[in-house]
Structure 1
């Protein structure tokens, strides 16, 4: 793979992978293949797998509510169902007012600080105060944070332990982990930068884990995509689209499906203060693609283009 030709100069530190029935090909620029990136909201897609797996295990029902699994008391958020959270149709905001999202966004923009350092108790306090609106499609980091910790509650584990037991360890994912604090970053952790090249603080924190806190090498995400394609990953039903999600898209449990060049593409992207990511699959062709970048400039169009071109090559070979 020619990453310079694919991504251009805006992504000096990046990695990519192509997945097919013949195997996995990886490439990187500016870092070695073991370097780990923040994968951002691809974490939501992983939480979607854990949700579908918990359904299969009988630990939860689609109608299970946050209040059944988390100590929220008799508040509106306690009545929100897990299924609505997986589809971003819970009525919860992207972030609650009590988290002061504008102040955090300004601090991120000015100083590069981490806007998501809350612990679980702080998250639950926010949930007890949050206003729940009418159910409609509204992308919610807050909702997926609560979803992941509710799934952990159903299994009697922390979210980090659940992630290890049901995703990381069974698949042997390389450099795929969930740091709660900066001192838990691995030795190969990259520092992300904004589009001006300024360093951004790592996005670590207990609360954000299920929605955007996972880090991984390109090999780790590629192995996960390969496991989704070959059926060895838990919770693959999460990829099946079950509800509309904006114009021309449908959503399963976190995973989004669109049509591109006449083919069904299942994908998720991610973005943090200093990173961008994209992972997608053509399930019918058995192909996949991953792009991770340590710069906060979108890689979405490159990811989709890489996957569709790769699929054409595989089908025509």
Structure 2
């Protein structure tokens, strides 16, 4: 693969694991000795859609607000967002959302998910371009499901915007104030529309190499809207391991989740080769991402790819082999 930059050993190791189906990618390894990064197909400063790793950011902001007394775990969505009075979503507690136990569907029926899915598979159209006002209106028509562990994009959209509303802020402003600003993550931004994309922002691709439109979205931001360079996501990982991030308790598992794993506020913890790994992955129309940490050993790995093919296996392998 061309245009390789950064640490040669890490680049070679990651390329062997990811293979030719990931022609544009970046990786980072974090441990007590520092941060090492590498990549190919795009410059080191390129920004990727990190997808649902954004939920991990929302989990941090939620726990930070609880720890500072801004809100409580039993605060209800309807206390913070102007959803329709008396609708089921209004009574859902934030703590339940943070553990994916809210009963809120992943995509509300008001978004015509079948029609949007067809458009996405046909021409790659972004299925998540809603505004916050549209999100709030859609929430009023949601019928709750059994509140068993169930992954929900829409629930995390509501959670992030509710946490921001509790602080008289917007979600992008809160991300900047509480996380990106203090850690110096200058590449981080959350585009609401395609017009907000920065010059030179990466274009994701399908497994077959077809370009996919970006996934900006005002409502989507807390569930999958952050864009980041590899260096800044590695810096977040280092800050998490060094316990200097707001809302750090989001990483601590507090409940059982699907498949025998445990969950904190968005963050998943599972046993992998006799090690407790805390992680989250992400996927958009043209990107796949993974961030994982062995908190006890003080090490972590980040994998970002501008191709819509899973990088989870490579992430777990890199974390196991490099640390």
Task: Answer yes or no: same fold by TM over 0.5.
Answer: yes
- Unaligned segments of structure 1, at least 5 residues: 312-317
The Cα of 1:165 is off from its aligned counterpart by: 0.1
Determine if contact 1:60/1:154 at 8 Å carries over to the other structure.
Answer: yes
1:195 is matched with which residue?
Answer: 207
Counting only pairs closer than 5 Å after superposition, residues 1-317 of structure 1 correspond to structure 2 as 1=10, 2=12, 3-72=14-83, 73-311=85-323
* Distance in 2 separating the partners of 1:85 and 1:282: 25
Taking the aligned partners of 1:167 and 1:188, their CA distance within structure 2 comes to 24
Once residues 4 and 143 of structure 1 are traced to their aligned partners in structure 2, the CA distance between those partners, rounded to angstroms, is 35
CA distance in structure 1 between the partners assigned to 2:148 and 2:175 by the alignment: 29
Whether the 8 Å CA contact 1:34–1:188 is kept in 2: the answer is no
Q: Deviations over 1:53-72 (max 9, x none)?
A: 00111011010000010011
With normalisation by structure 2, the TM-score equals: 0.95
Q: Following the alignment from structure 2 to structure 1, what is the Cα–Cα distance between the partners of residues 190 and 289?
A: 16
Equivalents in 1 of 2:186, 2:245: separation in Å? Answer: 15
Describe the SS at the equivalent of 1:114. coil
CA shift for structure 1 position 231:
1.1
Q: Which consecutive unaligned segments of at least 5 residues does structure 2 have?
A: 1-9
CA–CA distance in structure 1, aligned partners of residues 251 and 148 of structure 2: 20
- The CA distance in 2 between the partners of 1:55 and 1:22, in whole Å, is 33
Q: Secondary structure at the match of 1:5?
A: helix
Q: CA contact under 8 A between 1:287 and 1:310: conserved in structure 2?
A: no
Give CA-to-partner distance per residue, 1:189-225, whole Å, 9 cap, x none: 1000011111111000100000001100101110001
TM norm structure 1? 0.97
Counterpart contact for 1:95–1:140, Cα < 8 Å = yes
**Structure 1 residue matching 2:122: 3-state secondary structure:** helix
Q: Matches of 1:215 and 1:52 in 2, distance apart? A: 22
Aligned residues: 311
By how many angstroms is 1:26 displaced? 0.3
Deviation (angstroms), 1:84: 0.6
Deviation at 1:186, TM superposition (A): 1.6
Q: What is the deviation of 1:87?
A: 0.7
User: Do the aligned partners of 1:18 and 1:290 also contact (CA within 8 Å) in 2?
Assistant: yes
Q: Is the 8 A contact 1:65 1:82 kept in 2?
A: yes
Find the counterpart in structure 2 of residue 314 from structure 1: none
1:270 positional shift: 0.2
Looking at structure 2, the residues matched to 201 and 241 of structure 1 have their Cα atoms a distance apart, in angstroms, of: 35
User: What is the distance in 2 between the residues matched to 1:80 and 1:188?
Assistant: 40
C-alpha separation in 1, matches of 2:23 and 2:139: 39
Output the aligned Cα RMSD.
Answer: 0.7
SS in 1 for 2:314: helix
Q: CA deviation at 1:230?
A: 0.5
- Deviation of 1:308 (Å): 1.2
Cα deviation per residue 1:121-145 (whole Å; 9 max; x = unaligned)? 1000110011012211111000000
SS at match of 1:129: coil
